[in-house]
Amino acid sequence: MTAVLDIAGYTLDYALPKGGSFRALENIVLTIARGEVLGLVGESGSGKTSLAWAIMRYLPGNAQEVGGTIRLNGEDLRSKSPAEIAAIRGRRIGMVFQDPSTSLNPTLTLGAQLSEALVRHRSLTLKQAWAEGEAMMAKVGLHRPADMMHRYPHEASGGEKQRVVIATAFSCQPECILFDEPTTALDVITARQILDLFRRLQDETAVASLYISHDLAVVATVADRVAVIHRGRLVETAPVIQVFNRPQADYTKRLIAAVPRPDRRLNDTTADAEAAPLLEVRSLTVRYGQESLVRRLLGVERERVLGNRAVSLSVQPGEILGVVGESGSGKSTLARALTGLNPFDGEILFDGRRIASAGDMDRAYRRDVQLVFQHPDSSLNPRQRIGEILSRPLKLYGNGHEADFPQRVAELLEQVHLPRSFAQRYPHQLSGGEKQRVAIARAFASHPRLVICDEITSSLDVSVQAAVIQLLLDLQRRFGTAYLFITHDLNLVRQIAHRIAVMFRGELVELATVGELAAGPKHAYTTALIDAVPAPVG
């Protein structure tokens, strides 16, 4: 079997602005045969995207190719002129990008963006290309393709847009296609449909695919062989079954161990279901958008967007309540309402105290209910040192004297397994996982009884995520803190939560214990969600 894509001994450096260079890829060797899917797995900064740019010949100005070859059906791409490369891109090597909402031009119709590749590479007339594009749209499972051709990107859903991107990549029947995390930006169920589409097209066209992902579970379901990349080196390349069942490299073993599996519980505590609930939410409704003055004067009722519709749930002391749902399902709206960031109807009872609006959330409530956000980059002030960031809640909630703060800050840092010296650093000097630890330390500074975690691990690599989850569980055991753990990752939440609330279009459709959920969910949406999640690996 001859390789369609053949990379041998490829080494890439990036020149650093202050002189010297950084080795991004070291002696990369890989081949992909016709009809084969090679999964390339690695964490952020591992070099997997650099490899994609090297294949596409789209390297930044400071890239220095030290050696090696990249061959497409025997032709060395490195020796091609820019014009030759332009004729190869899109024609012989296609690419599917991570986020369809940013990889499509907002001012051109989907049809125009799909057909221009056909005009460029297959010398079709505009009319022929349009007809061909429409046929491609039907082929990737878009309903009413004629109509879809005339739509603009903002008029299509994320899944539809990704189908258009995939249709474009396949439209010129390329020999090789690179998929760069094509489902990462999509919701679980949409991602599953895109994966099914990928497999179908892959079988039909026998293209050689490089499937790049950080998600081992996804790669396990689509790839024939897997290459694991770590710090610019391929640490292991083997058939998919072998990699997941008998991993050879230590790094692969660590990576696989970090992937959440619902059958491996990380949390052995139980929540007291009989105790008085710590938090009770009674028919909480959040509406978005404001009534305009004119409408109010005219008495015209506008239909407002519902963020949450009559959500009722409770959290026991020390309980971890998982909240799952797709984007737009209202999980973050719930978190925002509970912290007074959104006005709401209905009522909240915290430790028996009635809270009817954000105005009732006094300092005592805020001390007891803390929030950790998804992106530590935007929730930590970049101009403050970590020590100042952690001193603020101490000051705000009046814990002890200011003279003791440095000591308290050091304790907080140690609680989240960070060195004391980090107090002197600025957020940008920390890694993503370290920053999220600081955010957690800040939330715990006031000794809260409930911490709301809003997708706190979704921007972290899987191994970092595992460590942060372990930290949260340690803190829960130590302080008996309850969590409202909001996530889109069903496998993860099934490892740690006591009960799980499933949200769909603003409503709470199911609230069950982890055991009940494992035995079989009651609501059809929950079933669809569980089925859409790739089976855990290992």
- Where do contacts with another protein occur on this chain (CB under 8 A)? 56, 58, 86-91, 95, 97, 99, 102-108, 116-117, 120-121, 152, 154-155, 165, 168
Question: Exposed, middle or buried by CB within 10 Å (0-12, 13-18, 19+), for 274?
Answer: exposed
Q: How far is the CB of 125 from another protein (least distance, A)?
A: 16
Angle between helix 188-205 and 524-532 (nearest 10): 50
Beta bridge partners of 177: 94, 209
- Measured from the CB atom, the residue of 87 and 467 that comes closer to another protein is 87
- Measured from the CB atom, the residue of 174 and 393 that comes closer to another protein is 174
- Measured from the CB atom, the residue of 294 and 519 that comes closer to another protein is 294
CB neighbours of residue 135 within 10 Å = 12
- Measured from the CB atom, the residue of 121 and 230 that comes closer to another protein is 121
HSE at residue 275, side-chain half, CA atoms within 13 A, is: 12
Q: How far is the CB of 99 from another protein (least distance, A)?
A: 7
In a 3-state reduction of DSSP, which class is residue 15? Answer: strand
Structure tokens at 463: 């191994």
- Measured from the CB atom, the residue of 117 and 259 that comes closer to another protein is 117
Beta bridge partners of 33: 3
- Measured from the CB atom, the residue of 58 and 288 that comes closer to another protein is 58
Q: How far is the CB of 82 from another protein (least distance, A)?
A: 9
How far apart CA 310 and CA 283 sit, in angstroms, is 4
Q: How far is the CB of 128 from another protein (least distance, A)?
A: 17
Question: Exposed, middle or buried by CB within 10 Å (0-12, 13-18, 19+), for 64?
Answer: middle
Q: What share of the chain is helix, strand, coil (3-state, %, to 5)?
A: 40, 25, 35
- Measured from the CB atom, the residue of 22 and 58 that comes closer to another protein is 58
Q: How far is the CB of 107 from another protein (least distance, A)?
A: 5
Q: How far is the CB of 89 from another protein (least distance, A)?
A: 4
Q: How far is the CB of 39 from another protein (least distance, A)?
A: 21
- Measured from the CB atom, the residue of 169 and 509 that comes closer to another protein is 169
Q: How far is the CB of 152 from another protein (least distance, A)?
A: 5
CB neighbours of residue 97 within 10 Å = 18
Is the four-CA dihedral 419, 425, 429, 434 of positive or negative sign? Answer: positive
Report the Cα 233 to chain-centroid distance in Å: 24
